[in-house]
Amino acid sequence: MKNLPFQVVVSLATLNTTSMASANAQTVVAQMDFDHRNASTEKVAAQGRMINELWQQASQLRGIGKYSEEITIRSQIVKLQPDSFLAWYWRGDTLSSLGQYEAAIASYDQAIKIKPNYLLAWFEKGKANHKLKRYDAVITAWKQAVSIQATSEFEQQLVQTIIPKKIASVLLYDLKRYSEAIAFYNQVLEVDAKAASIWIDRGTAFYQLGRYQKAITDFDKAIQLDAQNSLAWKQRGFADTF
């Protein structure tokens, strides 16, 4: 290199130094990127552990009935998991346990917004509305619930008997919509015809519509199932006077 012109030597040295600096810079950038990704992974993992701990705390507080403390935890969870339908559902459930039905409905609505076919959220929303005596809203929520495909044995029971029976009861005793009530009692009786209370309720709906013979038939069926049922005998007596 000593025979090369001075300018060429300087240029080669500069080029070599630049290449080394560039390589070193790339190494530093790669290391920084790795450190950043590693830090991000650790942050996500730490947040995950914290969320799991909060869920456990909330569950423990629910188990001992400390709902006021539980709701504080549930509210923290929805801030950390705003897209979790379960987080919103359980917040709503806790608020219902505290008698805060308006706030509970708002949380159930958030759960439904995230997962529109979440049957339990519709069911609990209906129950909260029932506490507020918003009977039309109750029927709307519960009809939506029974239209959803059940994914468990419990949900199957809800769809086939529990919710239809509740709908029929609201239609019969709260809204006085007797024909609609009968339609839902018919649905329940297709699945469970051994409950005397269902026959009594359907008989009562027939009675209110002036269909006394139909009412008597239902009251008689209730008596066959439960001969000691005083309400069935009483209702039959009323119907028999016409």
**Segment 120-175, tens digit of pLDDT:** 999 999 999 999 999 999 999 999 999 999 999 999 999 999 999 999 999 999 99
pTM of the shown model? 0.80
Containing structural domain, residue 67: 54-148
Half-sphere exposure of 221 (CA within 13 A, CB side): 19
* The domain boundary residue, chosen from 148, 172, 187: 148
Q: How many domains does the chain have?
A: 2
Identify the CATH number of the domain in which residue 131 sits.
Answer: 1.25.40.10
* The domain boundary residue, chosen from 110, 126, 148: 148
- Asked if 143 contacts 123 with a C-beta cutoff of 8 angstroms, the reply is no
Tell me: do 161 and 219 sit in the same domain.
yes
Tell me: do 124 and 208 sit in the same domain.
no
Phi/psi at 231 (5° precision):
-65, -40
Tell me: do 107 and 142 sit in the same domain.
yes
**pLDDT tens sequence across 87-102:** 999 999 999 999 999 9
* The domain boundary residue, chosen from 98, 122, 148: 148
178 occurs within a structural domain: yes
